[in-house]
Amino acid sequence: MNSQQLFRRSRTRLALWYAGVMAVILGLSGLGIYRALIQANWEALEREIESIAGTLHDSLEPMLPPSADPTVVLQQIFPDLCVARQVCAPQPTVIQRHTIGISDRTSYYIRLFNHHGDLLAFSPNQPLPLPQTINPTLWQTLQSDSGTRYRQFTTILHSADAHTTSTDGHDHPSWGYMQIGRTLAPFDAEVRRIRWILTVGLPIALGLVAASSWGLAGLAMQPIYQSYQRQQQFTADAAHELRSPLASLLATVEAILRLPPAQQQDVPPMLQTVERQGRRLSHLVTDLLLLTTLEQNVSPQSFKPCCLNDLIADLTEELSELAADSDIHLAHHLPDSEIYVLGHESQLYRLVSNLIANAIQYTSPGGSVLVSLEARDRMAIIAVKDTGIGIAPAEQNRIFERFYRVDSDRSRKTGGTGLGLAIAKAIVQRHQGQLSLGSEIGQGSLFTVSLPCMHN
């Protein structure tokens, strides 16, 4: 399985996990919202029924007759109710209709029972079929022949003479019962509407989540994929760099082993070649370890104050012989006051050394390299300017990549590994600074390092 298939499969799995988790979250959230809305509407409906029942109860009790046959009185109190076992033809006046009653007579109905539980009066719009005797259950849910559901509330009525003893010698603590019912058609319609919204909206939301998950998985995998690609490129470059000196070492050792005893005088020069290639390998491995340490930010040493004036002066003096051998004038320009930064002195030494050596390497004989130092806006500015061959704009973005060379043949001739500028950039980043490049073909290059100064 190649890397693209591996990352595509990983992206698919990550997107599926995203979508699955979001589906569970949305599903549980939708169910919770559904249950909360239904419960809130149901409780509001019951409170409304209880409120109307309480209002009627408080209005009726003072008017209820103690007699066993209250039909005439009930017709006066509720002119729009039908009396049980009589022809239902109520014709109340407008004033009577609004004297005692409820606001929405199409949604509510009333049923009155005596203390024996026998039906006395009822609203003409009550659902059918309903029993003629009382069911004392406080709350009931009924369904009519047409399929419409109703919610019914039962309460006890007391008259002004509720404890009057009847002719049969029994005490009756109540006058009778009143039932208030309300149609559940609006409630059921609201439930269906919420279900339809969830049924249609949830799949749409899950589809959007799935598409977003695929895109987010791609964004999440992109840095990993780029890091993997850089690691692959680094491995290939390192193998390429190691292959040449190793091949030279093996060839030289093999030639030494094949030399006849008469040619032993040729062994020392060949051993010098082995030593040179071994040192090159050692430098390459050291640079790779240093670069890895810098990028992982695991340096065991602590930052200490470092004087850049002394560091640059020492380096220009040390590299002056290398510059003189190449017929290059190396000079430095330092301020009178000392400039200190907080960092690792050995790493800063390697940083400036790499920049100066790189400038000398790519400057033609007769040219010059100038290293300057100044303090500006609480920053220490180190500038390394050369009159070398310059760097093309297309290559300036890649100049800090590991193993990248502008002039491969010349770099190998001088023994470079292609890691100098990569190490320099890593050291600058380790010290929370910036490294910039300005260059023109044939006009030379200018590398500028900005490091935070120590406050006096």
pLDDT for position 35? 94
Indicate if the pLDDT at residue 150 is higher than 60: yes
| CA 361 – CA 418 distance, rounded (Å) | 12
pLDDT for position 377? 84
Work out the average pLDDT over 143-161. Answer: 86
301-452 belongs to CATH 3.30.565.10:
yes
3-161+171-192 belongs to CATH 1.20.1250.20:
no
Check if the beta carbon of residue 402 is closer than 8 Å to that of residue 419: yes
Q: Kindly report, residue by residue over 390-448, the tens digit of the pLDDT.
A: 888 877 777 777 676 665 444 444 445 677 788 888 888 888 889 988 888 888 899 99
Work out the average pLDDT over 282-301. Answer: 68
Residue 293 φ then ψ, to 5°? -65, -40
Look at strands 329-333 and 368-376 and give their pairing.
Answer: parallel
Instruction: Centre a 10 Å sphere on the Cβ of residue 107 and count the other Cβ atoms it contains.
Output: 16
Work out the average pLDDT over 80-100. Answer: 62
CA-to-CA separations, 216 to 61, 206, 213, 362, in angstroms, rounded = 68, 15, 5, 45
The partner residues of 307 in beta bridges, in order of sequence, read 340
pLDDT for position 166? 44
Q: Kindly report, residue by residue over 32-52, the tens digit of the pLDDT.
A: 999 999 999 999 999 999 998
Burial (CB < 10 A; 0-12, 13-18, 19+), residue 35, is exposed
Q: Kindly report, residue by residue over 325-347, the tens digit of the pLDDT.
A: 889 999 999 998 889 998 888 88
Residue 114: both structure tokens together: 């005596």
| CA 52 – CA 192 distance, rounded (Å) | 26
Amino acid at 104: D
Q: Return the percentage of the chain with pLDDT > 70, whole number.
A: 81
Check if the beta carbon of residue 30 is closer than 8 Å to that of residue 22: no
Least confident of 12-16, 85-89, 365-369: 85-89
Residue 33: both structure tokens together: 């919202």
Check if the beta carbon of residue 315 is closer than 8 Å to that of residue 353: yes
Place of tokens 């109905």: 109
pTM of the model: 0.53
Least confident of 52-56, 105-109, 208-212, 322-326: 105-109
Amino acid at 442: G
Q: Domain residues of the chain, as ranges?
A: 3-161+171-192, 301-452
The closest alpha carbon to 445, from 393, 367, 385, belongs to 385
Q: Burial letters for 120-157: b for 16+ Cβ neighbours within 10 Å, e otherwise? A: bbbbeebbeebeeebeeeeeeebeeeeeeebbbbbeeb
